[in-house]
Structure 1
Amino acid sequence: MVNFSEIAREEILKTLSSPQIPEGYALRVGLKGGACSATYLLGLDKATENDELYTVDGVKVLIDKRHLMYLIGLRIDYAETESGMGFTIEKV
């Protein structure tokens, strides 16, 4: 399904354990838009009835059942570039 670089996993776990994040939240990996214009999205969210909850390398991951087949094989990384720091997503 999805996998994380070590630095991405550490950043996500650090964020999820922050006192500002309410109990019960997980990392949402999904799609925004549709057809050829769809983009990947990452965020923190609570599960809904359409979600599957997975634990990947110790990270609780929420994926909408309708998006699952499009997200298999994603690699999530955390990088520092000239424009700043943040997560990157690529299909491998």
Structure 2
Amino acid sequence: MIELTSAAQDRIKALLDRDGKLATHGLRLKVVGGGCSGLQYQLGFDDAVGDADNEFRAGEVKVIVDDKSAVFLAGTVLDYVDTLQESGFKIQNPNAKSTCGCGQSFGA
């Protein structure tokens, strides 16, 4: 479904561990309407898993994706980069047919 690189796993673990939530929370990755290309990603930490959610583990990180978002995220790779020019999560989504100029949204 979704792959997290070791760099992404390490960064997520560090953020959750810093707040004492590694054992209770997971990364929620969601696709919502918005942006100039129609769809955008939301990443956050969540401790609730509902009936319409898919839950899996990437190493020590729990990942939560709702059924609607899973359709858009199949085959996606989540990475974390930290260079002199930028730092942050990067999403490589094979289902994205187009992206906007600023890179904040995509079309599928």
TM class by shorter chain equals 0.7 to 0.9
Q: Between Structure 1 and Structure 2, how many residues are aligned? A: 90
Partner of 2:15: 15
Task: Give the TM-score normalised by structure 1.
Answer: 0.80
Task: Give the TM-score normalised by structure 2.
Answer: 0.70
CA RMSD of aligned residues (A): 2.1
User: Which sections of structure 1, spanning at least 5 residues, go unmatched?
Assistant: none
Quote the Cα distance in structure 2 between the aligned partners of 1:90 and 1:74.
6
Over the matched positions of the two proteins, sequence identity in percent amounts to 29
Judge conservation of contact 1:47–1:53 (CA < 8 Å) in 2: no
Deviation at 1:16, TM superposition (A): 1.7
Residue 79 of structure 1 aligns to a residue whose secondary structure is strand
Deviation at 1:46, TM superposition (A): 2.2
User: Which sections of structure 2, spanning at least 5 residues, go unmatched?
Assistant: 95-108
Partner of 1:32: 32
Counterpart AA for 1:24: T
Deviation at 1:10, TM superposition (A): 0.7
Larger Rg: 2
Structure 1 stretches of 4+ with a deviation exceeding 4 A read none
